[in-house]
Amino acid sequence: MKRKLDIVVLSDIHLGTYGCHAKEVLHYLNSVKPKKLILNGDIFDIWQFRKRYFPKSHLLVIKKIFALAAKGTKVYYITGNHDEKLRRFSPTKMGNIYILDKLVLELDGKKAWFFHGDVFDASIQHTKWIAKLGGWGYDLLILLNRFINVILVKMGREKYSLSKKIKNSVKGAVKFISNFEKTATDLAIENGFDYVACGHIHQPNIEKVTTEKGSTLYLNSGDWIENLSALEYHNEQWKLHFYHSQKSPSLPVEAEKEIEENEAFPGMLSAFLGK
């Protein structure tokens, strides 16, 4: 039974990288029926895109998004830093699919502001090559972490996140996340938004923030590399949903029958993005 929701927000899926949990994304999307699907940046990872690596599960996520749009779901694709090349097409509308750099919606009488959040990141704005290099290192770290977790699960122990441990132990990373959240909420309060929803920092969160100027609800959808998280809005309430599984699920049987390995799509995407 699919869960009917008003809004689902996903970000930082990073299709086209080894760290992406595309099968889990597909299973999650197959479990919900949202009126609106907001893809809040870094859905594709154009920085690390390689034609030789675009598995079937990654292709099926794209197919599922188009299928949702065809069945009436409004899909808002908000560009991020890893898929910034799509910004040249913003704003664009194709049926029920919209490509945007930011989105403002009225939700039950309240104003909601959605954007990826990379505009706050000076390391991306001014030294992009360092940020890209860091992305490659992060991908390798995630691969190593997956190998370690396979061993831990076989030993009957809980999974462990190397990147979370590193982030939580590095003062600069903790300060950056705090500054990011403060900047987003300060701007939201200043502009009269009741909700501000971001991605980018891979830190799922729902937090009420109040200052002398007002208040707002800060929302971050997290990611599908480590946290496997989504924001859900229904009955005037926001919730964080986490996909929990000890092992990677198999592809749905119907999906296996529908699509065989598609060699053409990565090449088409590469040409489209000018890679």
Mind listing the pLDDT tens digit for each residue in 34-50?
999 999 999 987 665 55
**Alpha carbons 218 and 193: distance in angstroms, whole number:** 10
Domain residue ranges in the chain: 3-273
User: Residues 147-192: pLDDT tens digits?
Assistant: 666 676 678 777 766 566 555 554 455 566 778 899 899 999 999 9
**Alpha carbons 171 and 191: distance in angstroms, whole number:** 30
Could you say which of 3.30.230.10, 2.40.50.140, 3.40.50.2000, 3.60.21.10 is the CATH number of the domain covering 3-273? 3.60.21.10
User: Residues 219-233: pLDDT tens digits?
Assistant: 999 999 889 999 999
Point out the least confidently predicted range of 24-33, 74-83, 208-217, 258-267: 258-267
Question: Do 227 and 24 form a contact (C-beta atoms < 8 A)?
Answer: no
